[in-house]
Structure 1
Amino acid sequence: MTETLLSYEDVLARFDPALGLEVHVELNTATKMFCGCPTTFGAEPNTQVCPTCLGLPGSMPVVNAKAVESAIRIGLALNCEIAEWCRFARKNYFYPDMPKNFQTSQYDEPIAFNGYMDVEVDGETYRVGIERAHMEEDTGKSTHIGTTGRIHGADYSLVDYNRAGIPLIEIVTKPVLGTGAKAPEVARAYVAQLRDLLLGLGVSDVRMEQGSLRCDVNLSLAPKSSVEPVERRPEPVEGTTLGIRTETKNVNSLRSVERATRYEMQRHAAVLSEGGKVLQETRHWHEDTGVTTSGREKSDAEDYRYFPEPDLVPVAPSREWVEQLRTELPEPPHARRARLQTEWGFSDLEMRDTVGAGALGLVEETIAAGTAPQAARKWWLGELARRANESETELAALGVTPADVARVQALVDEGTLNDKLARQVFDGLLAGEGTPDEIVAARGLAIVSDEGALGTAVDHAIAANPDVADKIRDGKVAAAGALIGAVMKEMQGQADANRVRELILERLT
């Protein structure tokens, strides 16, 4: 069924949005949260399991110390308070990918709480309050076989428990107010900056396309100016100024975070404008169609029957350990951006566009591989950003690495390629044809350096364009551009335009 949407302009004229973002981060520990099973991505289904992560009788969990350390580091980087004492709880619900029929998580005693992160959108800074960052375990992975790809309408389902028990940190924001028209962009910028921060901490590979970072987008609307500008509010329920929220689950790209937020704003507004009531529920995001569909009515905390996990001792990190970890934190995101902008000589607009495109880390790695800053930026924000937009893919998921871009630019710098030929190398990289050097060799893309061949092409161009040649002889050197174009066409782009120009002028001046 097609949902009715209100125009975005009408949404902004009548309602104030409130955002809430829940980001689930798979940690890159060698073993799972409560057992010794490996966490390697892509292993054969159900080969990385044991009695503990399968919840078999008599098995006993043990907390992964590295996961606790990662949780503390994340909390500190988000300006959170770190609990002196916390414990795990059982979150009870049935679903086939939960082999124990409960998830070991943290409820009212998270390891990190009451933090914030500042994000910038179009020159404005928005403070995103962090409610909590708590430890838990991931679930297994269900694959629903059928035409819909979802459990409803599936012919049957397969479950892989390799992921069950992998350490997760769930980072939950406080309601984010005052974003107005920028709400979708703020949501995207927050997740992008959080991804960069986590990557810098070295606690996760944050690959959204593989599910190691997943975002749930909570959204509610209230009548214009009825949302008070306070930093913290209770969960939105019917009758409060925040309105009724929906939770769009497992959004797995930065682009989709922005699109899902905008779509839900328009959908909520249409329901409210027609006198309807927004249902508090989970929603599914459909990347192909750009819409959300209803999942299930949202459960409240009491529905999960939380109670303290009896098989695990509390976690009580010493203050000395916490302070030691604080001293080892990497550079904060805002300080890193300012330093890199100075080092690279980027303007404010250039840096803002680089960050907004999610290309900061990619550009940094390309520069570290030997490429000049402006050249690295040119490829990532020009050619590759265009390819990503066309394929509706994140830059980092294109399949082109910073090392690839650095090598392509090196071939340009040494005169083997020009920019036009370099774009054909990127075609080959995206098609999986090998390394840049292999693609150049296989496609025969190298610039022709044979002076005889270039001279012949120049002579042909002069002979075919006598009027242009006369203009150059009369001192109108700018007219050489037409002859250069003719030579490049004859050479199929495989000529050095500067050398061609020199040869033309040698003959005609």
Structure 2
Amino acid sequence: MSLETIIGLEIHAELKTKSKIFCSCSTEFGAEPNHNTCPICLGIPGTLPVLNEEVIKLAIKAGISLNCEINKLSKMDRKNYFYPDLPKAYQISQFDIPICSGGYVEISINGKTKKIKLNRIHIEEDAGKLVHLEADGVSLIDYNRVGIPLIEIVTEPDFRSPEEAVIFLKELRSILQYGEISDCRMEQGSMRCDANISIRKLGDTALNTKVEIKNINSFKELQKALEKEEKRQNALYSLGEQLEIKQETRRWDSTRGETIPMRSKEDAHDYRFFPEPDLLPIIITQEQINSIKRSIPEMPREKKTRFISEYGLTEREIDIILDNKELASFYEETVALGTNSKTAANWILGDMLRLLKEVDDEADLFTSIKVTPKALYDLIKLIEDGKISSTTGRDVLDEIFKTGMSATEIVNSKGLFQISNTYELEQIITEVLDTNPQSISDFTSGKTQASGFLMGQVMKLSKGKANPKLAKEMLYIKLKERCK
């Protein structure tokens, strides 16, 4: 029996605002617990919310970027449930009239383009954060996150594999980052994903009982969680025990590598939604939509098309560069200074990415390192001008990364300038040949690899400073002379 996997995603993305959705408290991440709070976001009786206008603008921008219909009339609703991290005992969200409807995102998989349909985008406030101190047997609550503005992006159940879901989430992250809508730092919780997954017979059209998976905080964990739950449901279905698949919420436990039951899955009526009485309906004009549309920057797919025509890179190289907005900006700034586009890509995708992997905070790669586009341009120019070798250049880049010194300063202070003086090179080559007569004999008898050994000795004696191209030419001439 052939089975088909059906997956839908619900993505929460924090909007890039300086203040919360209904009050003026800061949205700063990492502040002292319960520091960014006030009577409004703590739900003190008698306080009234005021909707942050920037939240509306960013939600509209997200809708336009994701090909949605912007609803010119929408409203906020109360979603009622009790949990310790929700001080009001209700969440202000949107129910039946969201700010954006429909939409789609195109993804590339196995060389083909697939359109993933969206159901809606709605605005809501975030809840607090529970911190469990298991050793002490207590749980603490940090209310700094309460009232942080979110958009929830709900897809249709259009994914047929965990791989498709991961590709979509990466594409969505890029769109939101390039649009300056959200920074999507999954490690900080500013982009969170819940997945709904079910199994059915291939060819069936009806949807079977779905399971929601929570606690997914990375692309890798999304793939693992979906694959594990897919395997669990497939096993039950194959045994004829599909009725054992319950509508429930399960938590992904990355340590155990499995999904664990949390609670039965709620339906909309369980939350007793009703219109938020303290906020007016949201009215959006076509002029507002047009104005926001004009402010949207170049998006990843548009940028990819331009990169292919302007820079002559492979599709894989472009995909890696565009995967990180800051990396793409770094690359373009380096090329704009005069660096060859292919050379810049080679350095950035090679040694730069190697060094960036050492940075703890992946989201702050280009604010925490000391290498700038100008620094990389200057380094590459020293190599192209024959002042240093590419091998030395890698060591210099490491030093720039650590100290922030310029390439010229490092080369001067460490005496790393390449030897291009023919007299100096001749002295080095002569000494190498004088001390390696066997290699000369091998070369004379047709063993061409002997010249490679001798070249290695030249580089060793010069401590890596010999101009490789010039030294190789001079070595060959000297070898020919010795072979006569």
Cα distance, 1:160 vs. partner?
A: 1.6
2:149 and 2:415 map into 1 onto residues whose CA distance is 48
Q: Secondary structure at the match of 2:301?
A: helix
Aligned pair 1:504/2:475, yes or no?
yes
Q: Is 1:130 equivalent to 2:112 in the alignment? A: no
More deviation, 161-170/249-258:
249-258
Q: Which blocks of at least 5 consecutive residues in structure 1 are unaligned?
A: 1-12, 148-153, 229-240
Deviates more, 1:21-30 or 1:483-492: 483-492
Contact kept, 8 Å, 2:379 with 2:407, in 1: the verdict is no
Give the Cα separation in 1 of the matches to 2:405 and 2:247.
Answer: 51
Cross-structure match for 2:227 = 262
Alignment of 1:43-58 (within 5 A): 43-58=31-46
Q: Distance in 2 between matches of 1:184 and 1:393?
A: 28
Q: 1:257: Cα distance to partner?
A: 2.8
2:438 maps to which residue? 467
In our comparison, the structure showing a higher alpha carbon Rg is: 2
The answer for the alignment partner of 1:155 in structure 2 is 137
CA gap of 1:296–1:478, structure 2 versus 1, over 3 A, is: same
- Which region of structure 1 is more displaced relative to structure 2, 45-54 or 245-254? 245-254
Partner of 2:76: 88
**Inter-partner Cα distance in structure 1 for 2:415 and 2:254:** 39
Shift of 1:384: 6.2
Is residue 45 of structure 2 the alignment partner of residue 64 of structure 1?
no
Partner of 1:435: 404
Q: Which residue of 2 aligns with 1:170?
A: 152
Amino acid of the residue matched to residue 172 of structure 1? Answer: V
Question: How far apart are 1:115 and its partner, in Å?
Answer: 0.9
SS at match of 2:172: helix
- Indicate if the aligned counterparts of 1:359 and 1:380 stay in contact, CA closer than 8 A: no
- 2:226 partner SS: helix
Match of 1:185 among 163, 167, 180: 163
Per-residue deviation, residues 233-283 of structure 1 (Å, max 9, x unmatched): xxxxxxxx3223222224222333333333332232223333432233333
Q: CA deviation at 1:478?
A: 6.5
Paired residue type of 1:48: N
SS for the counterpart of 2:144 is coil
SS at match of 2:282: coil
Give the Cα–Cα distance (whole angstroms) in 2 for the partners of residues 427 and 15 of structure 1.
51
CA contact (8 A) 2:321 2:327 kept: no
Residue 449, structure 1, aligned to residue 418, structure 2: yes
Contact kept in structure 1, 2:370 and 2:404, CA below 8 Å: no
Alignment of 1:385-424 (within 5 A): 404=371, 406=373, 407-408=375-376, 410-415=378-383, 418-420=389-391
* Counterpart position of 2:63: 75
Any unmatched runs of 5+ in structure 2? none
Contact preservation (8 Å) 1:144, 1:157: yes
Q: Hey, what does 1:483 align to over in structure 2? A: 454
| Cα separation, partners in 2 of 1:438 and 1:404, compared to 1, 3 Å | same
Identity of aligned residues (%): 36
**Contact preservation (8 Å) 1:198, 1:204:** yes
- What SS class does the counterpart of residue 67 from structure 2 fall into? coil
State how far apart, in whole Å, the 1-side matches of 2:208 and 2:232 are.
14
- In the TM superposition, residue 388 of structure 1 has moved relative to its aligned partner by 8.3
Task: Report what 2:293 is aligned to.
Answer: 326
Relative distance call for 1:463 and 1:122 in structure 2 (3 A) is farther
Deviations, residues 94-140 of structure 1 (Å, cap 9, x unaligned) = 22221212111111110001111111123111111111111011112
Q: Which moved more, 1:339-348 or 1:56-65?
A: 339-348
Does structure 2 retain, via aligned residues, the 8 Å contact 1:425–1:440? Answer: no
Q: d(CA) in 1 for partners of 2:226 and 2:300?
A: 24
* CA distance in 1 between partners of 2:249 and 2:428 (Å): 66
Deviations along 1:333-390, one digit per CA (max 9) or x if unpaired, are 32221112111112345445656xx35762443232345433443345445667889x
TM-score by length of 2: 0.83
Distance 1:111 1:105 in 2: 11
Contact kept, 8 Å, 2:399 with 2:410, in 1: the verdict is: no
Number of residue-to-residue matches in the alignment: 468
Matched, 1:367 2:367: no
Q: Residue 213 of structure 2: which of 227, 248, 252 is its match? A: 248
Letter in 2 for 1:449: Q
- Deviation for aligned residue 1:28: 1.3
| Residues 321/224 of structure 1: CA separation in 2 closer, same or farther (3 Å cut) | same
Q: Distance in 2 between matches of 1:246 and 1:424?
A: 52
Q: 1:419 to 1:293 in 2, by over 3 A?
A: farther
CA contact (8 A) 1:131 1:173 kept: yes
1:138–1:503 distance in 2 versus 1, CA, 3 Å? farther
Distance 1:347 1:26 in 2: 33
Aligned to 1:203: 181
Aligned mates of 1:260, 1:436 — CA distance in 2: 45
- RMSD value, Cα: 3.6
Normalised by the size of structure 1, how large is the TM-score? 0.80
Question: Structure 1 residues 263-272 or 400-409, which shifts more?
Answer: 400-409
Q: Which amino acid aligns with 1:21?
A: L
AA aligned to 2:382 is E
Mark the CA change 1:433 to 1:405 in structure 2 (over 3 Å): closer, same or farther. same
